[in-house]
Structure 1
């Protein structure tokens, strides 16, 4: 398929009510963000030529050989409940094998279990994890697809302790907006969130949408955030400049940069991506100083309000850790997002399968060892 034809299908499917999640990671623009990967745009068609599904495949060549690791991030775009899933996936594997892939990894965009903020707040305690808590909902489709993949020889990433686990977050935090007024969303915030937003307003924090000229401000704050919180994304300013450019070239406003200013200084900066009726808070950064004026809370509330006004059904805050132990440092992120009153969704995760052949299986083991070390 041409990128244009592929993009039109993804755009149409993302706009359909009840069509399920279509991730921005399946857009052609995301392939342009990822340097070092070769994209291919695939489609499934019925006997009358009607398109039934699509997949953005990213190929990464193994050094020294003409073999590739094939990755379908948060895809394919399929009706996972439709008959014939096994045949579609078998056709996909045949094509990827012919293209020189030794291993295929994909992440079906389906939820498996969900926990409300209230359920998780009451379960917080030493040593507790999400798996220890009875979910509020189990998605039968996600569970059925996971069973079907396992029966077909796919293995969930990290399940055997190999391969480094999922590349995309398995647990994400979502705020449902569809069918709720803005007052309902405000009431869903806990007292701390509402108090912090009011404090930001009273302190004179101003929230604005910036353009690409403010990306250096965002990047400087991101470096502060990485040092403070002890993580490293490993992204350059050029990466974020390319991300901003190519996503907005595909669709103006696809990615926006939000800034929180106080006394003429940018104290927080977040990026927001929209596709169809879903919005993703992708990357957030904040300064080490003047945190008492709560710029990040103000910025999130502005982004949520804008998403609600645009008719977004789900505001996705992306990944959360699976710990509920307040003594674990990572719980701070979970606690912050729980304050919005949303819910944690466990996806079915990423799955991979080594393709047949002794050479392919050897390369698959080498890739898993590399990912484990990384």
Structure 2
């Protein structure tokens, strides 16, 4: 594939970066190139940006391509010389073929990993779109990393009310960068998924997540940040003799058995197989040992709950939780989460991401219970920018895009 060359923006002062002010003409030696890169160069870039705004989510690690069956993958990099490993941004692209065609839907889960503070987003996105068009893509979906709004747990604990949703409550913080990126994407023809006015079909990744800040906090700070109910439940689990251990791949069938019980009890279906979790566990830990861990809560010799955690750089995610229907009074899930929170803190993580929460604040809705449970850890609900799509120009591509949306809805 031919590398694509686009002019970059020249260096600017913080004030001009924030305002998107005009810049000097770029120098030829600063030209930004997009090209395929090796997994080694890609990982080296991620490792060199741990703890920065360019730190990637686990969904943008090369190993994630090995988890997703039925998708073809590309590893791309931007920079002055990406083929030589001189990179300023990277992207894992998943390509899903539309049945009966040679065309693909291109998906960058929680990516690309670029400097979203750069006002000139065209220098990243234009070459990406053209590269994927050449690969046969008829549409592209991206997941920009900036946050949009945040609500502190203390604010939401008393905000429950019939019919109320997160958007009805004044946010604790609105991120100006997130708002600016959304405006820039919309002005360039990108459509926010799930926006009925735009015709989107909804995000594949959760738009609202729950995050517990860890940086600069002691274990005593984390404990005092828990609600009284959470502290009581953690103490109860300890008193009842609940033991938390780190499992292995051999314990995944037990985790999956509990997950099916949880799905039946709570009325949801993830649609994932045991093979999916086995593949995920193997792929992520092959990339970096200990990247994905399985935590088990045992009581009287029986596993009552099992949760998975993924760590990349200075971020940790609680990904999937499962628990039994019986002996819930010994609070195995609270014991697990507290143990995982402490492990994430001890590993040097800056944030513990508990992943998706519903947008409802209606205590009468079943989903509200999940939000209420996570609020007890004392973190924040964060509304991300969500996912954005663009159907590539051309009548055929737009027709295929509509057909693909119908295909996804049927599945």
Q: Normalised by the shorter chain, which TM-score bucket? A: over 0.9
Q: Over residues 8-37 of structure 1, what are the superposed CA-to-partner deviations in whole Å (9 max), with x where a residue is unaligned?
A: 212322x1x332541000001100000000
Gaps of 5+ in 1: none
**Counterpart residue number, 2:249:** 212
**Residues 1:307 and 2:344 aligned together:** yes
Q: Quick one: distance in 2 between partners of 1:81 and 1:222?
A: 39
**Counterpart residue number, 2:6:** none
**Counterpart residue number, 2:44:** 8
The correspondence of residues 254-333 of structure 1 with structure 2, limited to 5 A, is 254-333=291-370
**Counterpart residue number, 1:234:** 271
Q: Is the 8 A contact 1:163 1:367 kept in 2?
A: no
Out of 47, 59, 63, the position equivalent to 1:25 is 59
**Counterpart residue number, 2:123:** 87
Which one is further off, 178-187 or 18-27?
18-27
**Counterpart residue number, 1:68:** 104
**Residues 1:139 and 2:184 aligned together:** no
Q: Quick one: distance in 1 between partners of 2:325 and 2:293?
A: 23
Q: Quick one: distance in 2 between partners of 1:185 and 1:58?
A: 37
Q: Quick one: distance in 1 between partners of 2:405 and 2:100?
A: 17
Aligned-pair CA distance for 1:109: 1.3
Q: Over residues 34-89 of structure 1, what are the superposed CA-to-partner deviations in whole Å (9 max), with x where a residue is unaligned?
A: 00000000010137973110000000001111100000000000011125321221
**Residues 1:172 and 2:204 aligned together:** no
**Counterpart residue number, 2:194:** 158
Q: Secondary structure at the match of 1:28?
A: coil
Out of 41, 52, 56, the position equivalent to 2:88 is 52
Aligned-pair CA distance for 1:373: 4.3
Larger Rg: 2
Q: Secondary structure at the match of 1:51?
A: coil
Q: Quick one: distance in 1 between partners of 2:343 and 2:54?
A: 22
Q: Is the 8 A contact 2:46 2:55 kept in 1?
A: no
Aligned-pair CA distance for 1:371: 3.2
Aligned-pair CA distance for 1:3: 1.7
Q: Quick one: distance in 2 between partners of 1:237 and 1:87?
A: 41
Q: Is the 8 A contact 2:54 2:114 kept in 1?
A: no
Aligned-pair CA distance for 1:235: 1.1
Q: Quick one: distance in 2 between partners of 1:353 and 1:280?
A: 29
Aligned-residue CA RMSD in angstroms? 1.3
Out of 376, 381, 397, the position equivalent to 1:360 is 397
The two structures have a TM-score, normalised by structure 2, of 0.88
**Counterpart residue number, 1:37:** 71
Q: Quick one: distance in 2 between partners of 1:110 and 1:46?
A: 24
The two structures have a TM-score, normalised by structure 1, of 0.97
Aligned-pair CA distance for 1:2: 1.4
**Counterpart residue number, 1:114:** 150
**Residues 1:371 and 2:397 aligned together:** no
Which of structure 1's runs of 4+ aligned residues deviate more than 6 A?
none
Greater relative contact order (Cα < 8 A, sep 6+): 1
